[in-house]
Structure 1
Amino acid sequence: MLPKQLIGCSSKSYFSLADARRWAEVARPRILEDGGDGVYLCVPYPLVPLFTDAFAGTAAEVGVQDVSQYGFGAYTGEVSAGLLAEMGVRYVMLGHPERKRYLRETDQMIAKKTMQAVNAGIVPVLIVGEPSPDDDSRPIIQHQCESALGGLPSGAEVLIAYEPVWAIGQPEPAPPSHIVRVVSILRDVLSRFDADTRIVYGGSAAVGTFSDIAAAADDPAGVPDGIFLGRSGLDPHGFLATLAEVRAATSSAAASSAATSS
């Protein structure tokens, strides 16, 4: 079963080997102290062993940013889900707008990759989001979910990352009230699938984003299950600050709920 709370980061293609080593050296002691439950880092394939070693002794897990739509076989240059699973990879990002734009990935390709990941025991991190702030979010994210998740086996573990295209790479994330509304829509859409799902918010997320979302929500259904950092997570101190923020916000919400029920 997926953790109830998730704090992740995609390094995209920013890390050099030295950068990755520095990140691991800084972050490991704090993750070890925290325990690392729900912590994950999606990195390029060559960095998987480095972070598998760095996270040893914790519950933190390693992810990657793509996977082949094919299994083992004569697919030169491809990296199969089976091989990644053998290497200890737990998560794989799929459907990111950058790959759709630069590499012409289609819905059909994403669906095949999703199935390959699930069949290998790897959790797909499906990126969904509308292209423009003026778009009607529901039909767009519903199509993205149905296209990728339709036909998955019962009980499949899936992490949905809501990343509105118009917020990716911007100085600020989407407005908290907008995120709350779309996360609520996503929960309704996902309720129709027989799957173990969680929702995180990405799209220029940074320290403070999760707290702002939680503060804007009148209903817990609008609060995501965590956060997915990009650039702001490249600094291990920023990542660790977000980890502490999400832990604190969730503990505060739990304490408030307990007080209300009593």
Structure 2
Amino acid sequence: MDGVPTGMVVFVCVVMAPVTLLMWALAVSEWRELRSPPKPRDPAVHYDLRLHSWKEAPAALHRWQEGGPVGTGGSAEEDVRVAEILAVLDGKDADEGAGVHTRLRLRLPDGEETTLHTDVRSARNVRAGTFLPVKPVREGVTHVLGDTWATAADLSGHAVGRVLLRHRRALGLIDDEAAEAVDGGRPEDADLVEVRPTGEVRAGHVEVVITARCGDHGPVTVRGLLRPEEIATARHTGRVPVVRSRGGRWELWPAWF
């Protein structure tokens, strides 16, 4: 080429050849990824994990979040409100690795919406539609990200249970007899025979009538309110956690959060 030094031509060829090969390799890799079938998600594992979480007693928030902030004590239950998670705006599941700082959009009981930042290791529990006990940021304290609410990390597991039971009763998701049975009770694993929705929906929960076999008690009938995912969990696993009230009535064990 007239006017272009031979050394320059050689230099450009030496530099561009590896770049071209790299771009070609990336294109081939992306093409193969698009052509390969998607990795299937094992529903059995997913629903087994959901059932395990459902049967647990209420836990302190740092345990439920699997890596959230640990409280130092001192929160009063009357200062705590139960918000509903509307969306997980940032974050990733535990399968992706270590915990991340997550941004949640919440709706408070009075209808106000707010954003809260908190550390989360697993997205299995922290998901849209679940309940999250929160407290106002202390007066005179300014959150670096502008949050006006924080998780109620100071509460013990028992205190979290009391707060969530009061919230569920206020929403009409559980009555007094069921709340008494659940408070301090222990769930029993029952074999699901049938689950029949009645058509009533309340606060994102569907009323169902469940027939189940519980130990030596034979078939029992339980009426209560569950989220759609809890209904799916019962159907896929063939199990449902129940508890018996003092009056002998069988109640559905709540998926606390």
TM-score with structure 2 length normalisation? 0.25
Bigger Rg, which one? 2
Higher helix share: 1
Higher strand share: 2
